[in-house]
Chain A
Amino acid sequence: MAADIRPKRPFRWHIGIFLAPAVLVYTAIMILPLAGTLQLSLFRNIEQHQVFVGLQNFRMLFGDPNWSVGFWNALRNNTWFFIIHMVVQNPIGVMLAALLSSPRLRFAAFYRTAIFVPTILSFVIVGFAWKLILSPLWGVAPHLMDLVGLKSLFTPWLGKEQYALTALSLISVWQFVGIPMMLIYAALLSIPEEVIEAAECDGITGLSQFWKIKLPLILPSIGIISILTFVGNFNAFDLIYTAQGALAGPNYSTDILGTFLYRAFFGFQLQTGDPNMGAAIATMMFLIILGGVCVYLFLVQTRLRRYQF
């Protein structure tokens, strides 16, 4: 349109030059490989040739016991991993943010900085540090539990099938609680003073003020942290790999989609790597994450009421 109205305008090369590097790198390293991976999931390597096999890989992933047992197990574990984050990490984050934003709180900057420290550490550090702390060899955890008289409850959590995944989820919660805290804190700070004053004039203070006034106003931010948690969890790999190794022991009880993808792609012990199956698993992860993002964008975000001040 613009070109029709002003035909004399020269082509603006600079726009292209400004955009080109970012678009090229992004397309070449991110979008094309992503598309390539989706495409690869429809092929199989038969006698050194990539042959189109349609949905055969997915049929194998869901139906063939060699793959499906591992896949459903990883998906189940991953869902539990996500549930723990939603019910533990996000409420704690909201609570900490609500406390931090209370007016005239002293040392708020110190608390804020300190609680965010684990978030900046790498998974390798977090995984190993907790492995050491929970290790029965070192005895820090039993010793601490002894101080509060709970020593009998101690077991090597990371080594027991029924506890390992929950323990790792809680370690991940410990690491990332800073993110919901900061985002909710920012949302709480942006609530105008007049709204709070009006509530106080109506006699709504303290906890009921939080539930009735502040919480509805920060719901959009809670929506955002939920989708960020979802994407992060269904794409997680590092923590499990560092703490439990690629086999996600004990007995695959901590296997999530990321570690399952890694094993399928690179192989392990008795099995050789299979790029096509790896691509199929990556495609499933892509669809799960895309599904989550769509649910958020079309169902959650449109229904949340936003208040403009």
Chain B
Amino acid sequence: MSTATRSLPRTIGAHAILLTYTVIALFPVILVIMNSFKSRAGIFGAPLTPPTPKTFDLIGYTTVIGQGDFIHYFQNSLVVTVASLFFVLLFGAMAAFALSEYRFRGNSLMGLYLALGIMIPIRLGTVAILQLMVASGLVNTLTALILVYTAQGLPLAVFILSEFMKQVSDDLKNAGRIDGLSEYTIFFRLVLPLVRPSMATVAVFTMIPIWNDLWFPLILAPSEETKTVTLGAQLFLGQFVTNWNAILAALSLAIMPVLILYVIFSRQLIRGITSGAVK
């Protein structure tokens, strides 16, 4: 019987389909990066060949770096992502600990309340969020974005982290209590280090949508000072519709940091998904 499930034609068929889809998934990305290193003639003459010494040209990159203030946009994105991530993880872990560790009145109601945000997107509150930010003078500040992304990331973080915190041994925490540790010390010194792997999973899940978001930077912080890399790329690409070198270079510059991070963290991310973190 086992030979039937692993016969040669079947295996070849499986590889053929998977390989075809891999090509479909990677082709546009490779095409863009490949052509960003070519001269204009090379881009249009032979779009499907890798850059040769004859067609190699960095004109696109020099234009982008000369024109757009990409380093600055990059810093903005980095500040927003890292700060939101920090608050999501800290506040999320604290709330998850309270929900999973203590029995108190309204515990499950509070859990349900916080879980609401997993299904209902924060975007639907945009009209009132903008009014709130205008009223508090936070429009065109990175703080506005950090606040919004923190709120956006919290529901999923609390949900996933409280699942993991339930698995931390009670004996350990009780031993800490007998030794006279305060509840805060137990959380920060005993529990947090133990759930570090699941914190990394949550971090990856939280980070990608924040880095890639276009809606909130467009609405809450569109000024030159506070543009994120996604918004900057969007506007930049709109201006340079005819300068293909610059467009391809800008796209590649936007792809590469995410791609590098993904290659570093992909095992973490995939382990997170397949361990049933998202259910």
| Interface pick from B54-62, B63-71, B115-123, B167-175 | B115-123
Q: Do A18 and B255 form a contact, CB below 8 Å, given A102-B14, A200-B1, A278-B127?
A: no
Q: Would you call A112 an interface residue if the criterion is a C-beta within 8 Å of the partner chain's C-beta atoms? A: yes
Instruction: Please tell me if A95 contacts chain B, counting CB pairs below 8 Å.
Output: yes
A275 to chain B, nearest CB (A): 5
Q: Are A290 and B125 in contact (CB under 8 A)?
A: no
Total contacts A-B at CB 8 Å = 269
Count of residues in A whose CB is under 8 Å from the partner chain:
97
Q: Considering the complex, give the chain A residue whose CB is closest to the CB of B262.
A: A120
Asked if residues B120 and A289 are in contact (CB atoms below 8 Å), the reply is yes
Max count, chain A CB within 10 A of own CB: residue among B2, B132, B270: B270
Q: How far is the CB of B83 from chain A (nearest CB, A)?
A: 13
Contacts of B214 in A (CB 8 A): 122-124, 237-238, 241-242
- Listed stretches A19-27, A78-86, A160-168; interface member: A19-27
- The reply on A140 being an interface residue by CB < 8 A is yes
Residues of the A chain whose Cβ atoms lie less than 8 Å from the Cβ of B178: none
* Contact of B74 with A by CB under 8 A: no
Q: Is the CB of A19 within 8 A of B98?
A: yes
Q: Which of B1, B28, B47, B251 contacts A205, CB < 8 Å?
A: B1
Cβ-based interface call for B78 (8 A): no
Residues 22 to 53 of chain A near chain B (Cβ within 8 Å): 22-23, 25-26, 28-37, 40
Which of these, B29, B128, B262, contacts A129 with CB under 8 Å? Answer: B29
Q: Which of A29, A132, A286 contacts B32 (CB 8 A)?
A: A132
Given known A-B contacts A26-B155, A37-B128, A289-B120, A115 and B21 have beta carbons under 8 A apart: yes
Q: Which residues on the A side are within 8 Å of B263 (C-beta)?
A: 113
When distances are taken between beta carbons in the complex, the residues of chain B under 8 Å from A144 are 48
Instruction: Check if B184 sits within 8 Å of A237, measured CB to CB.
Output: no
Find A242's partner among B92, B147, B234, B259 (CB 8 Å cutoff).
B234
| Interface membership of A215, Cβ < 8 A | no
CB distance from A193 to the nearest CB of B (A): 12
Contacts of A36 in B (CB 8 A): 125, 127-128, 131-132
Contact B152 A30 (CB under 8 A): yes
Count of chain B residues with a beta carbon within 8 Å of a chain A beta carbon: 97
A72 at the interface (CB under 8 A from B): no
Query: Is B103 touching A2 in the complex (CB atoms < 8 A)?
Result: yes
- Say whether B110 contacts A125, CB under 8 Å: no
Tell me whether B255 and A37 are in contact (CB under 8 A).
Answer: no
B124/A286 in contact, CB under 8 A? yes
Residues of chain B within 8 A (CB-CB) of A116 are 266, 269-270
The reply to whether the CB of B97 lies closer than 8 angstroms to some CB of chain A is yes
Q: Verify A29–B95 contact, CB threshold 8 A.
A: no
Interface 0/1 of A235-270, CB less than 8 Å to B:
101100110000000000000001001000110000
**CB–CB A205/B5 < 8 A:** yes
**In the complex, B190 has a CB within 8 A of chain A:** no
Chain B residues 1 to 49 lying within 8 A of chain A, measured CB to CB, are 1-2, 4-6, 10-11, 14-15, 17-19, 21-22, 24-26, 28-29, 31-32, 43-44, 47-48
Can you list 6 residue pairs at the A/B interface with Cβ under 8 Å? A19-B95, A122-B230, A132-B248, A205-B4, A265-B126, A265-B127
Given contacts A122-B213, A122-B214, 15 further A-B contacts (CB under 8 A): A14-B98, A15-B104, A19-B99, A21-B87, A28-B132, A33-B127, A33-B132, A110-B22, A116-B266, A117-B25, A125-B32, A138-B244, A143-B48, A289-B119, A293-B120
